[in-house]
Structure formats: C-alpha cells, structure tokens
Amino acid sequence: MTDVTILWTAVYIAMLAAFTGYVVISRVPAILHTPLMSGSNFIHGIVLVGAMVALGLATTPLEQGIGFVAVILGAANVTGGYIVTERILQMFDRSGKKPGKEV
Amino acid sequence: MADLSWLIEPVYIVTIFFFIIGMQRMSHPLTARSGIVWAGAAMLIATLVTFFTPHLTNLALIAIAIVIGGGFGYIAAKRVAMTNMPQMIALYNGMGGGAAAGISAVALLGTTTATTGSLAVVGGLIGAVSFTGSIVAFLKLQGWMRPRPITFPGQHIINILVLALAVVSGVLVIAQPSWIPLSVTMYLPLFFVLSLGFGLLMTLPIGGADMPVVISMYNAFTGLAVALDGFSFATPNYAMVVAGIIVGAAGSLLTLNMARAMNRSLSNVFFGAFGATEEKGVMIQGSMKSIEADDVAVLLAYADKVIIAPGYGMAVAQAQQKVKELTDLLGSRNIQVKFAIHPVAGRMPGHMNVLLAEAGVAYDHLFDRDEINPEFPSTDVVLVIGANDVVNPAAHRQGSPLFGMPILDVEQAKNVIVLKRGQGRGFAGIENDLFYRDNTRMLYGDAQESVGKLVQAIKKL
C-alpha cells in the first residue's frame, strides 16, 4: 500500500472507530464509569499483539531487548487489566452470592 | 507448521467485533459482567493467532515475556485490595503506554517511510508520556509520593520547552537531515528521554484530587498511541488501530464527563496546580466541635431520616462493611437511611458505589448528588464518612479555589456528623467551612472503628 492510501484508510477507520467509542460511552450511567475505564484499559492491551510482532521481527539485540520489555509490559496490561475489571464488575453481581474476599 | 497466517485478519476482525460487543455490554449494569468476558475471549484469540504472523522469530523470547508480564499482572491484580483499584488501573495503563512506546522504538530503529515513521514518532511520544505520567499517578495514589501538587518557578515554561525539544528530536528522527552529522541512534534515545520526561513533568503539578481525570486522560492517550503504532508495521495492524481509537474516543469522552462532574476544565486540571495555593483573606468563623460516639448514637437512634455521605476516608478505613451493618441496624428501627453519592467521591467516579456494592448495600439506597440534594433540609442526621472536598460549602463562595464545583449540600441538614481521622484537609488541600458550622460535630478516629462504636452504642439503646 502506498503511504497516501494508508493515510486515507487511517482517516476512515479513525472516524468510524471514534464514533463507535463515543456512542458506547455516551449513554453510560456514572456508576459504570470506573468499570468502563478499567475495561477500556484492558482493551488497549491489544498493544500486546503489536509488541509480539515487534519482538518476533526484531533482528538486532537492541531491538530484541526493547521488544522483550514491550511484550512484558503489554502482557501485564492485558492480564492486570482483565483481573481488575473482573474484580470491579464482580461487585455488580446481584445474584445473591457474595463475592469472596480474595487475598 | 502449516501456514495459518491467513487466519490473522479474520480473527482480528472477530476480535474487534467482540471488543465492541464487550464495551456495549459493560455500559449496562445488568450485562456488565459478561462484557469483560467477551473482550477477554477476543484478546485471547487475537494473541494466539498473532503467533502465526509470517517470519516470526524469537518465539521463545515472546513466550517468556508473556509469562513474566502476564504473571506479574495477574498476581498483582489478584492481591491488591479493592480500595487500591484506581492506582492499579493507572499502573496497567502506564504499562500499555510503555509497550506502545517500545513498539515505536523498534519500528524507528528499522526502516520506515515518512508516513509510518511520523505515525510511529507521534505514537511513541504519546505512549511515553502516558507511561511516565501514569506511573506518577500510581505513585501519588499509592502514597509512595506526596499527592500534593509539586510546583516550582518557571514550571510551565520548562514543561513546554521539554515538549518542544521532544517534538524537534522526533522530527529529526524521521527527517535525519544530512547537514547534522548525527545518526538516528543519537536522536532516538534523546527523543524518548524527552518524551518520558515530559510525562513526568506534566503530572507532577497535578494534585491527588484531580488524579481520576488524569488517569482517564492517560487511558485515552494509551489508546491513541496503540492506534498510531498499528501503522508502524509493514502491514498495518488494524486490530490495534481500531481498538486503540475506540479506547481513545471513549476515554476522551469519559475524561470530559469526569472533569465536568468536578466543574474543572482540563486546562485547569493540568495547569491549575489545584490545592497548591491558599485562598487569601478568608477567615472562617467558629470552631470545630468534637462529639463522642455515644452521643452520635443517640442522635441516630431517634432520627427519622439519616443520609450517609461517604468519601475516600471510608475506602481507606475499609469501613464499608460496618457502614452496611449500621444501615441495617437503623433500618430495623424504621429509620430511613439513604446514601448520597457525589460523582467524584473517592478517587474515581463510581468508586463509592463499587465499595458499597461489595459490602452488600442495595443500589436503590444509593442516590446521585442531584437526586439527594433537595432532601438535606428534611434530614435529621447526615453522616459524612471520610468525605471532605465534595461537601465543602466553600464551593458556593466566590473566590474559593473550589468555587462552582457542585457539592452535596449536607450543611442544610439539622445535624451533620463528620467522621474524620484528624483535623487534616481533603485532597484539594482546602480548609473546609463545614467543619466550623454550628450544626456540625466532628467524630474523630478511624472510620471503621467509629462506625463500629456507633453500631455497638445503638444496639444498647
């Protein structure tokens, strides 16, 4: 793809994705702000796949080192983001059984 | 191994679809819990299919790094107490930003075109700022760093200078003009050091009270950085681009909503150094009057209507279980108990709701600021548990740094009991007029202990 094509594709995608993000958030009650912030924090953990490709295609030791750290950080973003969101949302479970105290 | 790389794009499309479904479900209380499961499943398949990327090497290194990072994230998130969730969001958000900066760095060390290089530079700058900024937010909320704004003369000028230098070195990374006899290996470290430095400098002057807004904004930053980095590969990674922009847009809107709830503009948050300055020339009349738990118990036991206004102090003291006990006890005596939840009580919107839900307080007892404010004049006792700035009537006085912030008008109730550890100030670092009012009494001590004493005392009545 040429640079210009990439740029225009980027603009199209950005517009549609930004609209999606806006619509999803705009009708949210205040009590769900924290879980949603945490949830979107998890979703940008998709950076992990980019870090994997960066490390997987790295050739020099410097690139490998940076890629390695990037994958560690990305993976922590994914698992940490998931668990935090899960734990916060557990509080919203009204099915009767109390969430256990995790230590 | 068979070539399965054709699977990548379809799986990424499914991933994005699931992410959107997941966020959609997370935005309704009833479906919220399943939302994260959808998003989690999507992340899992996206990660697995990425191993099929053509020419991928260093597979062992990738696996090791995933185990280290994933293991840390999992264990730390499982162990941390519910009260510390806000700073954990900040921490993991910073790590995402760091990963994005790392991807940019690797991309810029390799070959890039003017377009992909520029996108990688912008992504790297935003990712690096989000990384150090979030870490500072984490340290401040965790209490490993003074939460008060850190200011020094010429701060704004230095910050802008650092940002400008970062941008200049970023341009040099892409342009690599031949008339400067330095290679990219010189500009690149300089660029990242300046970007990381700017994130640090930009967050230092922001006080603890504004941290939720800041974390939310860095969350949007990381999303944007991830989106831009999606273009730094030979074939653009559209899963990163779309997911990143969705987070960027959703995060920006969330940030504005939060700032609006505090009646603070974003420029105020970032350049105001909230709480660093004192309001001059205002003398507060009266004195703080303390009260014993037994006397509060009597007030409560013979009240018709009680409103509880919780704040961060309740979270710190882990008092929510005791508060729930007190609520049940008063309820059994046919006393009406309601909770007044300020949108920014605690350290994040919804922080109080989450804690009270954890303790088993029913949702229909929780009321928004706008819903509950008309009820204070007809209320016998208001219990302010560890809240400060959100009940400070100084917000109604022109000239106060808090002026204009919508607050809980607890001072209109017949009796106001403030549960507080000591005579300190709130996050905003502003003296609270409420504590000096005639109808206000201070019940000093740890909130959990104090509420426990109240429960015991009421039982005896």
Q: How does pLDDT run across A17-53, given as a tens digit for each residue?
A: 999 988 888 777 766 778 888 999 999 999 999 999 9
Active site residues of B: 389
Q: Do A47 and B240 touch (CB under 8 A)?
A: yes
Better-predicted residue by pLDDT, B343 or B68? B68
User: Does the residue A7 lie in any domain?
Assistant: yes
Chain A residues within an 8 Å CB radius of B50? 49, 52-53
| Contact indicator for B162, B201 with CB cutoff of 8 Å | yes
- Confidence bin at B282 (pLDDT 50/70/90): low
A2-11, A93-102, B145-154, B406-415: least confidently modelled range: A93-102
CA distance A68 to A58: 10
Among A49, A89, A102, the residue to mutate for chain B (most B Cβ within 10 A): A49
Number of helices (H) and strands (E) in chain A: give both, helices first. Answer: 4, 0
B334: left (phi over 0), alpha (psi -120 to 50) or beta: left
Q: Does B115 touch chain A (CB under 8 A)?
A: yes
The predicted model scores a pTM of 0.80
In a domain, A98, yes or no: no
What's the pLDDT band for B1 if we cut at 50, 70, 90? Answer: low
Confidence of residue B354 (pLDDT cuts 50, 70, 90): confident
What is the rounded CA–CA span in Å between residue B145 and residue B139?
5
On chain A, the residues whose CB falls within 8 A of the CB of B59 are 56
pLDDT of B426 higher than 70: no
A14 contacts in chain B (CB < 8 Å) = 227, 241, 245
Residue indicated by tokens 């959100």: B390
Q: Identify the pLDDT of residue B181.
A: 66
Contacts with B246 (C-beta within 8 Å, 6 or more apart), sequence order: A17, A18, A20, A21, A24, A40, A43, B19, B20, B23, B223
At B48 the pLDDT is 95
Question: Sign of torsion, CA B418 B422 B428 B432?
Answer: positive
* Shortest Cα distance, chain A CAs vs residue B193, angstroms: 14
- Beta carbons of B226 and A47 less than 8 Å apart: yes
Average pLDDT across chain B, whole number: 87
Give the gap in angstroms from C-alpha A76 to the nearest C-alpha of chain B: 4
Query: What ipTM did this prediction achieve?
Result: 0.89
How far is Cα B76 from Cα B78, in angstroms, rounded to an integer?
A: 6
- A21 lies in some domain: yes
Question: How many structural domains compose chain A?
Answer: 1
Q: Please count the helices (runs of H) and the strands (runs of E) in chain B.
A: 16, 6
Q: How far is A96 from chain B (nearest CA, A)?
A: 9
Residue from the list B61, B233, B247 with its beta carbon closest to the beta carbon of A44: B247
Position A33 scores a pLDDT of 78
The residue-averaged pLDDT of B347-367 equals: 80
Determine which of B25, B246, B253 to mutate to test the interface with A (most A C-beta atoms within 10 Å): B246
Q: Is residue A74 part of a domain?
A: yes
Higher pLDDT, A17 or B146: A17
Contact A43 B243 (CB under 8 A): yes
Determine contact, residues B22/A46, Cβ cutoff 8 Å: no
pLDDT on residue B111 = 78
How buried is B314 (Cβ within 10 angstroms: 0-12 exposed, 13-18 middle, 19+ buried)? buried
Q: Across the interface, which of A1, A54, A90 has its CB nearest the CB of B107?
A: A54
Comparing B58-62, B140-144, B215-219, B344-348, the range with the smallest average pLDDT is: B344-348
Q: Within an 8 Å CB–CB cutoff, is residue B1 touching chain A?
A: no
Q: What is the pLDDT of residue B431?
A: 77
pLDDT score of A102: 37
The pLDDT, as a whole number, for residue B430 is: 72
pLDDT band at A97 (very low <50, low <70, confident <90, very high): very low
User: Residues B159-176: what's their mean pLDDT?
Assistant: 90
Which of A34, A59, A103 would you mutate first to test chain B, the one with the most B CBs within 10 A?
A34
pLDDT one-digit tens code per residue, B197-227: 999 999 988 877 778 889 999 999 999 999 9
- pLDDT grade, residue B428 (50/70/90)? low
Range of the domain at A76: 3-91
Least confident among A82-86, B80-84, B182-186, B256-260:
B182-186
Cβ neighbours of B287 (radius 10 Å): 7
- The model's confidence at residue B121, banded by pLDDT at 50, 70 and 90, is very high
> With 60 as the cut, is the pLDDT of residue B279 above it?
no
**B44, B71, B72, B48: which is closest to B59 by C-alpha?**
B48
Residue A65 located in a structural domain:
yes
Alpha helices by DSSP H, B204-339: 211-229, 238-261, 266-271, 293-301, 312-317, 320-332
A-contacting residues in B 246-285 (Cβ below 8 Å):
246-251, 253-254, 257-258, 261
Three-point CA angle B193, B199, B117, nearest 5°: 60
Burial of residue B266 (number of CB atoms within 10 Å: 0-12, 13-18, 19+): middle
A19 occurs within a structural domain? yes
Distance in Å, alpha carbon of A1 to nearest chain B alpha carbon: 8
- Tell me the shortest Cα–Cα distance from B311 to chain A, in angstroms: 15
User: Is 90 exceeded by the pLDDT of residue B404?
Assistant: no
For chain A, report the end-to-end CA distance as a whole number of angstroms: 51
Which residues, numbered 201 to 230 in chain B, qualify as contacts with chain A under a Cβ-Cβ cut-off of 8 Å? Answer: 215-216, 219, 222-223, 225-227, 229-230
Is the pLDDT at B251 greater than 80, yes or no?
Answer: yes
Question: Percent of chain A at pLDDT above 90?
Answer: 51
Residue B243: band (very low, low, confident or very high) from pLDDT cuts 50, 70, 90: very high
Question: How many other CB atoms are there within 10 angstroms of residue B134's CB atom?
Answer: 31
Q: Is residue A17 part of a domain?
A: yes
